[in-house]
Amino acid sequence: MDGTEDRVVMQVDQAGACVSPGYRIARAVWRRSGAKLLAAWGGAWRVARNAAMWALGRADYRRWASPQGLEAWWDQRTELLAGLIPAGSRVIEFGAGRRTLERLLPAGCTYIPSDLVDRGPGTIVCDLNHRPLPNLGPYSPEVAVFGGVLEYIRDVAGVARWLSEQNVRQCVASFDPAPCEGGLLARLRELLRRRYFGYMNNLTAEQFERAFGAAGFEVVARRTWTRQIIFHFQRSGRS
């Protein structure tokens, strides 16, 4: 035997370089699944980063300060929110973003923007995960609007109580609730989904509604948008 049976047979690739069959197989596998592997790694890193921020109770300033963090397709949701706001109201929008709501408000409304970062003239810079929350008395808002915001708040019940204390009469808010049913695997998938998006709580729709109910708000209307529920809360007469 001259050892040829143990010798690795080399082949020539299209560029003329000598490569082994193993290399060619590995390259083919990478072409098929490399992008998926990179995406999986990126997703895992994002979940880990957001989980750390959740543990610290910190808002993602970097994400929301970037224009890329504000999606144009959210305008569909903003239109639904605007449709629930009474004309002539003083409206404060938390998570003002591109201030799309400002141009969609009914006649006679006054717009007050608020966000983690400055969104232009009149912005109340406010982190709803940070205490103490600001005094809104000088602005006298009647309606508070949250479009894609309350998922990122750890203490939703605390924010609802604060709104009540600030004499806000109505609240229009979207929320992506956690499902109330499902086995262990389904719950784990949902937890990972919420961490991937940076959500700070795992409230179901019922728990979300109860958080506002405990602060004296009752649901007067509901809408749906994608998998989210849009709630129209109003302070009850006894509060």
Of 56, 79, 103, the residue that ends a domain is 56
Mean pLDDT of the chain: 85
**pLDDT tier at 14, thresholds 50, 70, 90:** very low
Q: Does residue 122 share a domain with residue 36? A: no
Q: What integer pLDDT is reported at residue 137 of this predicted model?
A: 97
**Residue range 30-72, pLDDT digits in tens:** 456 545 544 554 567 677 777 777 676 777 878 778 888 789 9
Strands 228-235 and 90-94: unpaired
Mean pLDDT of the 25-32 span: 54
Structural tokens at position 65: 């300060």
In this model, does residue 176 exceed pLDDT 90? yes
Strand, helix or coil at 146? strand
Query: Which residues are 217's β-sheet partners?
Result: 235
Query: Which residues are 177's β-sheet partners?
Result: none
In this model, does residue 180 exceed pLDDT 70? yes
- Residue 208: other Cβ atoms inside 10 A: 23
Mean pLDDT of the 174-198 span: 91
Report CA-CA distances (Å) from 222 to 82, 96, 126, 134. 13, 21, 27, 28
- The one-letter code for the residue type at 108 is G
Structural domain total, the chain:
2
Q: Does residue 225 share a domain with residue 170? A: yes
Contact 178, 159 (CB under 8 A): no
Contacts of 51 (CB under 8 A, 6+ apart): 195
Q: Does residue 95 share a domain with residue 24? A: no
Pick from 71, 75, 124: nearest CA to 102: 75
Q: Does residue 206 share a domain with residue 179? A: yes
Of 9, 37, 56, the residue that ends a domain is 56
Q: Does residue 139 share a domain with residue 162? A: yes
Q: Does residue 47 share a domain with residue 26? A: yes
Q: Which residue has the higher pLDDT, 108 or 66?
A: 108
**Residue range 15-24, pLDDT digits in tens:** 444 555 654 6
d(CA 180, CA 206): 8
Mean pLDDT of the 91-96 span: 98
Q: Does residue 184 share a domain with residue 157? A: yes
Q: Does residue 156 share a domain with residue 224? A: yes
**Residue range 136-170, pLDDT digits in tens:** 999 999 999 999 999 999 999 999 999 999 999 99
Q: Does residue 182 share a domain with residue 217? A: yes
In this model, does residue 98 exceed pLDDT 80? yes
Q: What integer pLDDT is reported at residue 11 of this predicted model?
A: 42
Q: What percent of the chain is predicted at pLDDT more than 70? A: 79
Q: Which residue has the higher pLDDT, 186 or 26?
A: 186
Query: Which residues are 12's β-sheet partners?
Result: 18
Q: What integer pLDDT is reported at residue 93 of this predicted model?
A: 98
Q: Does residue 88 share a domain with residue 50? A: no
Contacts of 57-65 with C-beta under 8 Å, sequence gap 24+, read: 57/129, 57/154, 57/200, 58/129, 59/116, 59/127, 59/129, 59/130, 59/152, 60/152, 60/198, 61/116, 61/117, 63/198, 64/115, 64/116, 64/117, 65/116, 65/117
**pLDDT tier at 122, thresholds 50, 70, 90:** very high
CA 233 remoteness from chain centre: 20
Of 40, 56, 72, the residue that ends a domain is 56
Q: What integer pLDDT is reported at residue 174 of this predicted model?
A: 98
Radius of gyration of the chain, Cα coordinates, nearest whole angstrom? 25
Which residue segment(s) compose the domain that 30 sits in?
1-56
d(CA 145, CA 218): 15
Q: Which residue has the higher pLDDT, 111 or 27?
A: 111
Domain of 213: which CATH number? 3.40.50.150
Q: Does residue 12 share a domain with residue 92? A: no
Mean pLDDT of the 81-86 span: 98
Q: For the purposes of burial, counting CB atoms within 10 Å of the CB of 215, is it exposed (0-12), middle (13-18) or buried (19 or more)?
A: buried
Q: Does residue 67 share a domain with residue 2? A: no
